[in-house]
Structure 1
Amino acid sequence: MPIALVTDSTASVHPTVADKRGITVVPLQVVIGSESYDEGVEGGVTTDQLAEALKAWTPVSTSRPNPDEMLEVYERLAGDGATEIVSVHLSSELSGTFESAQLASRRSPVPVRLVDSRQVGMATGFAALAAADVRDAGGSAEDMVAAAKERAAASTSLFYVDTLEYLRRGGRMGAAAALLGSALAVKPILKVDNGRVGPFERVRTSAKALARLEELAVEAAGDAEVEVAVAHLASAERAATLAERLTGRLAEGLGDREVTVGEIGAVLGAHVGPGMVAVCVARRTTHSG
C-alpha cells in the first residue's frame, strides 16, 4: 500500500467499509461520568448508553486523539509499507483532531497530506471515500487530497435537534444562540457552514422541522447525482421515515444508490442529544467512483 488513507471515527465510515476500502480509522473518545470509551470500536460506548446518559444529565464530554496517538498510526502504516499518507478529518473549527494530525505529521517517517474537510459526520466520510476512489483508480496522493476537498465542499450537512442545550454545553454554540433557539419552544434546524455548526432555520414543531429538513435536502440535491445519508440518535422512526421519503423524491439523482440510515457516532451524538436527525447530501463529483 504505497499510499495509506486515514480518517477519524466521526466520519461514520462503517468498519466493514473501512476494511474493504483500505481506510484506517482513528477513534475519538467519549467520557461518560468517569469512564472513557473509544468511539466505533468493539467494547466502546453504545448509542443507547450515550442517549441514556444524556437524558439523565450524566456528565458527558469528548476528546480528540492526541498527537502521539496519531503519530503511532502514521508510524504503523509506514512500517506496513506506506510511502505516503493522506489523512482526512472533521472540521478543525469543531475539534482538535486536525491539529493533532498536523503535529503528528511533522514527525511522521513518511509524508502526510492533510485534509480539513470543514465538515462533520458522513460528509467527512464521503470525502474520505472519494480519496479512496482516486487511489483505487491509480491516482496520486495529491489527486486524493483534491478529490476529498472537492467532495466535502459539494456536501450539505443539515441537522434537526430537539434542543441546542447539548451544543451549548459542549462549547460548540454560544449561550445566546442556544437561548434564542430554545425560545418559545422553537425547533432548530442547524447547518454546517464553513466548518462551523450554526442555526439555519427555526420551526415551531418537530413535525414541521422534519418536513423542512426533507425540503432542504431536496433543494441541496437539485438535479445532481447524489449520495444521501440519514443519521439519528434515539430517533430511529423519524430517520427511517425521512430516508424513505428522500428515496422517493431523489430517485433520479440517486440512481441505484440507497439512502443509508444509521445511528450517529457517539462523539457527535454527545453534542446534539437524543432526538437528533441529520441528513447529508453529497453531490457526486468528477472524482466519485
Structure 2
Amino acid sequence: MPADLAIVTDSTAYLPQDAVDRHGITVVPLSVAVGDEALVDGVEISPKDVAEAMRAKRRVTTSRPSPETFAAAYRAAAEAGALGVVSLHLSAELSGTCEAARLAAAEAPIPVRVVDTRLIGMALGYSVLAAAEAAEAGLSLDEATAAAANRASLTSGFFYVDTLEYLRRGGRIGAARALLGSALAVKPLLHLSGGRIEPLEKVRTASRAIARLEEIAVERAGDREVDITVHHLAAEDRAEPLAERLRERVPGLRELVLSEVGAVIGAHAGPGLLAVVLSPRSR
C-alpha cells in the first residue's frame, strides 16, 4: 500500500486475513458482549463462541467502536505518512459505526472520507478492496472513494436464516418483521436493500430455501465477471456444497471465498445463517 493513502474499515467486513495484510488495511473492531462480558470481535470471541452462547440462550449484544478508537487509527495513518484516509463501514441503518467514524474524521489531522457502504460482511469487504486497489493504482483520495462507492453500488447480499428470532431480538429485522407471524411455517430469504434487512421471498422448507438462494445467485450473476462470497455461521455442512455448486454454475466467476461470519453478524443472525454475497467487477 502506498504511504500517501490509507484504507480503514471495521471488523464486520470479514476480509480474508491475507487480503488485509497484502493491502495494509486497518481493521477497527466492534465489540460483542456475552452476558456482562465485553469482548473484541475477531480477537477475544470467535464465531463458535457466539453460536454456543446463542444456543444456550445467553444474552449476546454488540456495540460500535468509540470515536476515540477511530481517531487513533487516523492519527496512526497520518504518522505513517498517509495524506488521506478512505474509511469504509457497515450500513448506518444497522450500526452507529459510521457515526463514530465521522466524529473522529472531523478532528483528524489529514482528510478522511467516511463511506457508509450500506452493506455488511464481504459485501462491505469488496468495497474496501476496491478502495485499496484504487489507492495502489495511484488514484487520488476522491477517486479511490468513488471506486469504493461504485463497487458498493454493484454488490448485493442474500441470506437465509433458520429463524428470525435473533434478528428480532437485536432490532435489526426491519420490514422482515412482517414475516414473524408465519415464521414457523416458512423459511425466509432476506436481502440487503437500502442498507436495511428486508424480506425477499418465503420458502416452505430449509432445503428449498437454500436451493432458491443458489438460483438467485446464479440468476443475478448472469454472464458478468463476478466475485462471490458464501458466508455461514455454524453451517459449514451447508455452505461448502453451496460454494462448490456456485463454482460450477457461474460462468464469469473470478474469485470465490467461503467464510464463517464473525461475532457481530452472528450475534444478530444466529446459528444456521447462510448467505451469498455477489459483487460484479463492472456493470
Query: Normalising by the residue count of structure 1, what TM-score does the alignment of the two structures yield?
Result: 0.94
Residues 237-284 of structure 1 show CA distances to partners (whole Å, capped at 9, x for unaligned) of 10001101100001x201xx3421010111011100001100101000
Paired residues of 1:164 and 1:181 also in contact (CA < 8 A): no
Q: Compute the displacement of 1:69 (Å).
A: 1.1
Structure 1 segments, 4+ long, off by >4 Å, are none
- The answer on 1:51 being equivalent to 2:51 is yes
- C-alpha separation in 2, matches of 1:112 and 1:205: 46
- C-alpha distance in structure 2 between counterparts of 1:84 and 1:267, whole Å: 28
The question of 1:276 aligning with 2:240 is answered no
Give, as a single letter, the amino acid of the residue that structure 1 aligns with 2:108. Answer: S
- 1:262 alignment counterpart: 259
**Structure 1 partner of 2:75:** 75
**Aligned pairs, how many?**
280
* AA matched with 2:233: L
CA contact (8 A) 1:105 1:111 kept: yes
Does structure 2 retain, via aligned residues, the 8 Å contact 1:165–1:178?
Answer: no
Which residue in the other structure is 1:253 paired with? Answer: 252
1:33 maps to 2:32: no
SS at match of 2:252: helix
Secondary structure of the structure 1 residue equivalent to 2:211 = helix
CA–CA distance in 2 between the matches of 1:32 and 1:178?
27
RMSD: 1.3
Write the distance in 1 (CA, Å) between the matches of 2:178 and 2:71: 37
- Residue 176 of structure 1 deviates from its aligned partner by 4.1
Instruction: Compute the displacement of 1:181 (Å).
Output: 4.9
* Counterpart in the other structure of 1:177: 178
Aligned match of 2:119: 119
Structure 1: runs of 5 or more not aligned: none
Deviation string for 1:148-176 (max 9, x for gaps)?
11111101100100001101100112594
- Tell me the equivalent position of 1:8: 10
2:51 touches 2:270 (CA, 8 Å); kept in 1? Answer: yes
1:196 aligns with 2:193: no
CA distance in structure 1 between the partners assigned to 2:162 and 2:182 by the alignment: 10
Amino acid of the structure 2 residue aligned with 1:179: L
Partners of 2:168 and 2:177 within 8 A in 1:
no
Q: Is the 8 A contact 2:226 2:255 kept in 1?
A: no
CA deviation string 1:79-116 (max 9, x = no partner) = 11111111011111111000001110011011101111
TM-score normalised according to structure 2 size: 0.96
Per the alignment, residue 149 of structure 2 pairs with: 149
**Partner SS, residue 180 of structure 1:** helix
Please state whether the residue corresponding to 2:139 is helix, strand or coil: coil
1:14 deviates by 2.1
The answer to whether the Cα contact below 8 Å between 1:163 and 1:181 also exists between their aligned partners in 2 is no
Q: Percent identity, please.
A: 51
Letter in 2 for 1:275: G
Question: 2: CA distance between counterparts of 1:261 and 1:176?
Answer: 29
Secondary structure class of the residue paired with 1:130: helix
